[in-house]
Amino acid sequence: MKSAVFRYLPLVLLAMAWEATARLELVSSSALPPLSEVMVSWIDLVRTGELAGNTGASLYRAGAGLLLAIVIGTALGIGMAWWKPINVLLSPLVEIFYPLPKSALIPVTVIWLGFGNGSKILLIFMGCMIPVTISAFNGARSSEQTLVWSARSMGANRLRMLWDVVLPSAMPELLNGIRTALALSFILLVSSELIVAREGLGYLIGFLGANGSYEAMYAVVMTVSLLGFAADRGYQMLMNRMLRWREQTL
Amino acid sequence: MSSQPQIAIDKVAHVYRPPRGRPVLALEEISLQVQQREFVALLGPSGCGKSTLLYLIGGFLPVEKGSITVNGEPVKAPGPDRGIVFQHFALFPWKTVRDNILYGLERKTMPRAEREEQAQHFIDLVGLGGFEDSYPSQLSGGMKQRTALARTLAFDPSILLMDEPFGALDAQTRHLMQAELLSIWQRTPKTVIFVTHDVQEAVYLADRVAVMSARPGRIKTIVDTKFDKKDAGIFKSKGFVEKVDELWNLVRDEAIKAERRAP
Ligand SMILES: Nc1ncnc2c1ncn2[C@@H]1O[C@H](COP(=O)(O)OP(=O)(O)OP(=O)(O)O)[C@@H](O)[C@H]1O
Ligand SMILES: [Mg+2]
């Protein structure tokens, strides 16, 4: 408990510095409104229900895109590791697609699917699928030969063997890839909503900024970063739980 | 011997072809016949291809030269008739001791309660009571080996391929496990091929001991080693001691050759 307080001490210092800078008008108050006023607008945004509605819309898009990316990306990665034809077919596509800045696809997905949820989900799905596919591929290839043999000799058919041996062998690497995808989903979510959307947290940031409501804009920015932090923390806990078998008891 | 052998290995060779580096001829012209319910031990210097031979019989590696038949059928793939205890255990690291042992049983048609009972029986048999919920990463080498042993025995295959299954055990536990294996083998109809570096163990357990030559592996000699296992004084009996001695000399010659040939 004590150490947690110490850990986040720099954040408290930053908050105090922020408040002081703004109060002393070291920078213009429109560029940096005092933190206390940002908090007040945050409460307002919560009270009007604006924050909840837009957060809901954003989380739905990020969640749906990420879930699709995890399921399909894992299947493709394991497929590539275990069937040569799939590898031959897909690996050039993955290689080409990997370095492409996924935000460049924002206008494309809008042309395809319009301003609503569809285009955001597609964008997040495409962007997040790449790290998931690559990590599933690398993880699946590292599965130990004798473990595969062991399962086969105890009556597992090929499909079972993939599920019982290859997937769990790939899990440590795969879970790391999904963590990258999780961070990427937030980036793609907010940037696509900033550019074209009628709701969502990114939209709200853009809208409030354009209207000059900087306190409220900061409040939404802080909400997004808190959500991102909470998602990563929650994910790490889940990951540690799932990989408990690797721990050596000291 | 009346009927056809249960396992017939005929002029089998095996070459490993690593993706980089040159091919390795691991086995050259191996022929061996094992009868139903026979217990055969394989002795030979490190690297002579004992594990490779077990992998071929298990159906894990393709038989490219020569032939291997089990019950008259050519071996093509792994099958539940042949259980294997791997030299390096090959436990599923993400499963607990109990779940590792249950794995093979889950693919058999038996009620859940019976499966669990079976698993528990073998956990107790190898002396791992109290460690049912441990993961392999939390076990000592000997405990991992006993888990692997229990997993294969619980699965109850008619052919047991065992690759130095007691290699990581202390002398005391080793004797207990040897006795358990013998009693299982005497109670249930099983054919065993047993790889070991321990000459005394081979002579004690096996009906016949096949001595392999240094790489590329061949069967150099096969020695009959039928003794009365129930005789408590067997280890000191003259016949037993002489057999161990005879085999020791054969193995040592090969070990020396392997040493000289080593790069
Ligand atoms: N995957 C592999 N790729 C290339 N060469 C291999 C491979 N596995 C084994 N070999 C070679 O084949 C030979 C036989 O190996 P094998 O593991 O069957 O020996 P072994 O008799 O079981 O030895 P040990 O008693 O040390 O376990 C060795 O010389 C080794 O170098
Ligand atoms: Mg070996």
Q: Which domain holds residue A113?
A: 59-214+224-240
Whole-angstrom Cα distance, residue A159 to residue A165? 10
- Nearest partner of B84 among A165, A157, A147, A153, judged by Cα: A153
The answer to whether residues B131 and B110 belong to one domain is yes
The answer to whether residues B13 and B143 belong to one domain is no
Q: Evaluate the CA torsion angle B107, B111, B113, B114 in order and state its sign.
A: negative
**Residue A27 included in any domain:** no
Whole-angstrom Cα distance, residue A235 to residue A230? 8
> A245, B58: Cβ pair inside 8 Å?
no
The answer to whether residues B128 and B166 belong to one domain is no
Q: Which of B147, B166, B193 is the last residue of a domain?
A: B147
Which CATH number covers residue A113?
1.10.3720.10
**Residue A183 included in any domain:** yes
**DSSP alpha helices (H): ranges in B48-170?**
50-58, 97-105, 112-125, 141-155
Count of structural domains within chain B: 2
Q: Which of B101, B127, B147 is the last residue of a domain?
A: B147
Residues of chain A with pLDDT below 70 are 1-2, 248-250
pLDDT in tens, B147-183: 999 999 999 999 999 999 999 999 999 999 999 899 8
pLDDT in tens, B1-15: 456 899 999 999 999
The answer to whether residues B76 and B105 belong to one domain is no
Query: Residue whose CA is closest, atom 5 of ligand 1?
Result: B16
Dig out the tokens for A129 from the structure. Answer: 């699928």
Q: Residue B1's pLDDT is what?
A: 46
Nearest CA distance, B249 vs chain A (angstrom): 33
Ligand 1 within 6 A of CB of B49: yes
The answer to whether residues B186 and B240 belong to one domain is yes
Which atom of ligand 1 is found nearest the CA of B52?
18
> A149, B82: Cβ pair inside 8 Å?
no
Query: Do B14 and B65 form a contact (C-beta atoms < 8 A)?
Result: yes
A152 to chain B: nearest residue by CA?
B78
**Residue A18 included in any domain:** no
- Nearest partner of B148 among A142, A246, A146, A248, judged by Cα: A146
Count of structural domains within chain A: 1
Residue B227 has pLDDT above 50, yes or no: yes
**Residue B20 included in any domain:** yes
The answer to whether residues B11 and B55 belong to one domain is yes
pLDDT in tens, B58-106: 999 999 999 999 999 999 999 999 999 999 999 999 999 999 999 999 9
- Cα angle: B189, vertex B192, B195; to 5 degrees: 165
What 8-state DSSP symbol labels residue B47? T
Query: Do A41 and A219 form a contact (C-beta atoms < 8 A)?
Result: yes
**Residue A159 included in any domain:** yes
Dig out the tokens for B128 from the structure. Answer: 């791992």
Q: CB contact, 8 Å: A240 with chain B?
A: no
**Residue A129 included in any domain:** yes
The answer to whether residues B108 and B183 belong to one domain is no
pLDDT in tens, A117-147: 999 999 999 999 999 999 999 999 999 999 9
- Number of neighbouring beta carbons within 10 Å of residue A240: 12
> A149, B83: Cβ pair inside 8 Å?
no
Whole-angstrom Cα distance, residue B232 to residue B228? 9
Residues 6+ apart with CB under 8 A from B179: none
The answer to whether residues B77 and B180 belong to one domain is yes
What 8-state DSSP symbol labels residue B29? E
Nearest CA distance, B150 vs chain A (angstrom): 13
Q: Which domain holds residue B194?
A: 7-81+157-261
- Nearest partner of A141 among A212, A83, A59, A222, judged by Cα: A83
**Residue B152 included in any domain:** no
**Residue B11 included in any domain:** yes
Residues 6+ apart with CB under 8 A from B53: B9, B12, B27, B30, B42, B217
**Residue A208 included in any domain:** yes
Pairs of CB atoms within 8 A across A/B: 63
The answer to whether residues B168 and B251 belong to one domain is yes
Whole-angstrom Cα distance, residue B159 to residue B3? 17
**Residue A7 included in any domain:** no
ipTM tops 0.90: yes
Nearest ligand (C-alpha, residue B26): 1
- Cα angle: B93, vertex B97, B100; to 5 degrees: 65
Residues 173-192 of chain A with CB under 8 A from chain B are: none
The answer to whether residues B50 and B119 belong to one domain is no
**Residue B86 included in any domain:** no
Q: Residue B11's pLDDT is what?
A: 95
The answer to whether residues B133 and B61 belong to one domain is no
The answer to whether residues B164 and B142 belong to one domain is no
**Residue B237 included in any domain:** yes
Mutate to test the interface with A, among B55, B76, B94 (most CBs of A within 10 A): B94
